[in-house]
Chain A
Amino acid sequence: DGGITQSPKYLFRKEGQNVTLSCEQNLNHDAMYWYRQDPGQGLRLIYYSQIVNDFQKGDIAEGYSVSREKKESFPLTVTSAQKNPTAFYLCASKTPGGSSSPLHFGNGTRLTVT
């Protein structure tokens, strides 16, 4: 089955540690996205990549980093510089076609930093 796999489902880290969230897709989509979801705030865009070896900052990129070395993979690193890292992180992808194609989401990683 084609889809987006995010791992792990739950992640716990101590403050001051960097942590990397995995996102893999087998949909052959060019564009991939990372969103953060907090209660009452909807989804906010962290980073996105329209093509391999290229990515752009979203609305809340500070304290995060990404790489796009392969079409299938778009890992997100939450660095110690991110002030409020505890959240539900969602990875998404879509076909080229700009605004007219919908996003497909993974089932998220819930990160807790204490």
Chain B
Amino acid sequence: QKEVEQDPGPLSVPEGAIVSLNCTYSNSAFQYFMWYRQYSRKGPELLMYTYSSGNKEDGRFTAQVDKSSKYISLFIRDSQPSDSATYLCAMSGPPGGTSYGKLTFGQGTILTVHP
């Protein structure tokens, strides 16, 4: 079983839809949670970063972390064609732990927003 599971999709939605992307994980030591966006033939770029449980909002993007359920989500409101990309969740543990300094990634979800 992978440490981080992410539905690879692909996910296709109309412009303006609300998109929900999710990851589950098994390592309870994970404390730092990130979402990266990757356009085709490019490197991933950091989209959202959260520490421990809770919500974080940045414009049309909201990241949620539920540590009790080992579940994280990324919501995209009013989705745009320019949001079409692969979205990768990533997480890591605290200093001193086995996952210190390293990120563990989900498989990535391919999202297409069509006009």
Total residue contacts A-B, CB cutoff 8 A:
65
Cβ of B110 to closest chain A Cβ, rounded Å = 10
Cβ of B61 to closest chain A Cβ, rounded Å = 15
B41 touches A108 (CB 8 A): yes
Q: A42-B6, A98-B100, A99-B93 are in contact. Are A105 and B107 (CB under 8 A)?
A: no
> For the complex, would chain B's binding face be called helix, strand, loop or mixed by DSSP majority?
loop
Is residue A18 contacting chain B, with contact meaning CB distance below 8 A?
Answer: no
A40 touches B8 (CB 8 A): yes
Q: A42-B6, A107-B43 are in contact. Are A102 and B101 (CB under 8 A)?
A: no
Is residue B34 contacting chain A, with contact meaning CB distance below 8 A?
Answer: yes
> For the complex, would chain A's binding face be called helix, strand, loop or mixed by DSSP majority?
strand
Q: Which of A31, A35, A99, A107 has its CB near the most chain B CB atoms (within 10 A)?
A: A99
B102 touches A48 (CB 8 A): yes
Distance in angstroms between the alpha carbons of A33 and B36 in the assembled complex: 16
Is residue B42 contacting chain A, with contact meaning CB distance below 8 A?
Answer: yes
Is residue B13 contacting chain A, with contact meaning CB distance below 8 A?
Answer: no
Where the two chains meet, the residues of B that have a C-beta atom closer than 8 Å to any C-beta of A are: 4, 6, 8, 31-32, 34, 36, 41-46, 49, 51, 88, 90, 92-95, 99-103, 105-108
